[in-house]
A and B are shown apart, each in its own frame.
Chain A
Amino acid sequence: MDASYDLLLNAILSGLLLGGFYAAVSIGVAISFGMLDIVNIAHPAFILLGSYAAFIGNTYFGLDPILAAVIALPFFYALGMAVYQVYYVAFERRDERSLSSAPRNDQSLRGLSFFFGLLFITEVGLVMIFGVDYRLVQASYIGEKYSLGPIQLPYRLLVPFIVSMVTVVGLQLFLSKTFVGRAIQAVAQDQLALRLMAANPVRIKRIAFGLSIATAALGGAILIIIQSVEPSVGREYIGRVFAICVLGGLGSFSGMVIAAMTLGVVETLTSTLFGPSWAPAVSFGVLLITLAVRPSGILGR
């Protein structure tokens, strides 16, 4: 009986750590979907790009994967700004020009298809460059464990957890304390008011989307620390990421962290009790139940 309690306790703890990692993967979508109203379903593909950036830095230059991700941050930021610029010119500006105020369904259809195309192109591009083999990174803390009585916490999960929490807290401070940060929070709600504050909504959104993609560099690096990665792994994260953002209430970081940890624990318990092959189904269940029962999320307004 003791053994199974230990098993359960360890499962819950590692679920919480896993949830912390999910928060880092989801925070970019919390910004793009939650605050900018841009449904970037290609976000997991950018996460994978981050994983491969960390893989290159680690394998060819001997860097720590997280350090490699930090070096990659500016590039991802620039990539995000570029993607937003294309999105703006092709979709948002067209929307502004049309007379009807409500976004037409077929406009959002094209925006979604655009990101779906990006997702697919990135995945196939990665397959063409790196093949479908699973890739790993090396670091001193991978494989080690922190033991405290019956509790065993692998550093492989602990380090990503810490990186993730630092990212979330840092972004939260940036969004609530700086002018640009507050403008990002305001941009989806009232563009006119933002213009009156002498901030260009397009520039603010470009910065925000750049930040959202920059988080993917970190998210990708800690993904490849946690598990070995191949190009189609990203797809499993689409459901997770959006389940977490919807469950957390769009745009709320604290709700997102709670949702991420909830999902982490439920998934870990599912793998422990029913086997790991069932875990991907959990996020979909959570997503469907949330959409059907409480679409505003647990901390929704």
Chain B
Amino acid sequence: MASSVASSAKFVLALIVAACAIFGVGRAIGNSYAFFLGYVVVQYIVLGTAWNILGGYTGYVNFGVTAFFAIGAYSTVALYKLIPAMPLPFMIVIGGAFAALVGLGTGYLTLRLRGVFFSIATLALAVVVQTLITNWDFVGGARGAYVLRPKLAPLMGGEYVQYLFVLMLGLCVIVLATARAIERSSLGYGFAAIRDDEAAAEAAGVPTLKLKLIATTLSGGFMGMAGAPLPYYVTYLDPTSGFNLNYAVNAIAMPLIGGTSSWVGPVLGAVLVGGLQEVLRVTISSAANVLVAGVLMVVFVIAAPRGIVGLFEGKRK
């Protein structure tokens, strides 16, 4: 136990060092485009890892990524209208808490049944949350809402997008550390038992419902946190862009492409697919960049079911 704590501590330290290095390189480049691009990739690492905590570890597919993501984003819009001076980190925590609650509620109602019903419910959840937001005038309704992005970053100076990037990096460290800690704890073994044979796990005394609810809550909460800074990033948020299906497809495609069995997969997937998308967006068209994640996802689930990580690990199973 003590060694696992020490290993986790080392891991977190390594992540922080890596995050600082990445930010240092960004500062050295000093180009705001680098930060805008970096933000998107890191955001997808967070989203993909959050999705993977439920999808990859327990095998329950959440298609309602946009619902959780947008709950985070719109809670920031609402807080911005209520208390404009609130620091963004608080908004992130609150947005995450709302999304976690929704995850818990949806899970509680549907997770007693076969996994597909949960998946279908989450698909429908995305539509219903969008309907609610579209009808909620306080956060802009169908017209959308503007959020003023401050010119300068608080505390550290430089452009505000650098601050957003640092926050997202910090979130990324937390999410990756959590995901790795889960993998190495009894929680992770419980999740894996659910994934491999839920009936047998239940029979062996694994509290499956409780574990599934923990996974949906964590996963939903992190997705909400990933969405919370979005209004400051885009400065104008309307339901069509906040609930864009791209977020869901990317969040699902990236872990599946990278590999769902460990925290490395979503990171690999997000960096590769996110980078490729940016290249395509610049060189070909924005439609092509949207398509690539979907096509890659289908190719990988058919041809390489264990993702890139699986390709390197060889045929262990």
Contact = CB atoms under 8 A, between A and B. Distances in A.
A75 interface: no
A222 B117 CA distance: 28
A114 B301 CA distance: 7
A167 B109 CA distance: 34
Interface residues of A, number: 46
Contacts of B117: 246, 291, 295
Given A116-B252, A121-B294, A238-B123, A277 B287 contact: no
A109 B123 contact: no
Contacts of A128: 287, 291
Contacts of A178: none
B125 interface: yes
Contact of A121 (B125, B126, B256, B295): B295
B290 A124 contact: yes
A22 to B, nearest CB: 14
B255 to A, nearest CB: 10
A39 interface: yes
7 contacts: A39-B119, A109-B59, A116-B252, A120-B249, A284-B125, A284-B127, A285-B128
A103 to B, nearest CB: 10
Contact of B127 (A90, A106, A117, A235): A235
A117 B135 contact: no
B124 A283 contact: yes
Given A113-B256, A291-B113, A108 B59 contact: yes
A239 B123 contact: yes
Nearest to B295: A121
Given A105-B59, A238-B123, A278 B135 contact: yes
Contact of B291 (A124, A246, A278): A124
Contacts of B127: 235-236, 238-239, 280-281, 283-284
B124 to A, nearest CB: 3
Contacts of B294: 117, 120-121, 124
A177 interface: no
Given A106-B195, A110-B301, A287 B116 contact: no
Contact of B295 (A112, A117, A243): A117
The 10 A-B residue pairs with the shortest CB-CB distance in the complex, in nearest-first order = A105-B59, A239-B124, A117-B298, A284-B128, A120-B294, A284-B124, A90-B302, A281-B131, A110-B301, A106-B59
Nearest to B196: A104
Contacts of B305: 94, 110
A123 B245 contact: yes
B60 A105 contact: yes
Contact of A238 (B124, B132, B249, B291): B124
B55 interface: yes
Nearest to B118: A291
B164 interface: no
Interface in A159-216: none
B58 interface: yes
Interface in A86-137: 86, 90, 94, 100, 102, 104-106, 108-110, 112-114, 116-118, 120-121, 123-125, 127-128
A31 interface: no
Contacts of B313: none
B39 interface: no
A121 B121 contact: no
A243 to B, nearest CB: 7
Interface string B56-72: 10111101000000000
B316 to A, nearest CB: 15
Contacts of B287: 124, 127-128
B198 interface: yes
Contacts of A125: 291
Nearest to B297: A117
Interface string B186-203: 000000001111111000
Contacts of A109: 55, 59-61, 115, 260
Interface in A244-273: 246
Best-surrounded residue of A114, A120, A283 (most CB of chain B within 10 A): A120
Contacts of A102: 197-200
Given A106-B56, A127-B287, A277-B131, 18 more contacts: A41-B63, A41-B120, A90-B301, A102-B197, A106-B195, A109-B115, A110-B256, A114-B302, A117-B301, A120-B294, A121-B291, A236-B127, A243-B124, A246-B117, A280-B131, A288-B110, A291-B117, A292-B110
Contact of B109 (A117, A278, A291): A291
B134 interface: yes
Contacts of A105: 58-60, 115, 194-196, 198
B194 A113 contact: no
Nearest to B119: A112
B276 to A, nearest CB: 16
A84 interface: no
Contacts of B197: 100, 102, 104
Interface in B107-164: 109-110, 113, 115-117, 119-121, 123-128, 130-132, 134-135, 142
A292 B106 CA distance: 10
Contacts of A110: 256, 301, 305
A242 interface: yes
Interface in A33-56: 39, 41
B26 to A, nearest CB: 31
Interface in B269-317: 287, 290-291, 293-295, 297-298, 301-302, 305
Contacts of A114: 298, 301-302
Contacts of A291: 109-110, 113, 117, 121
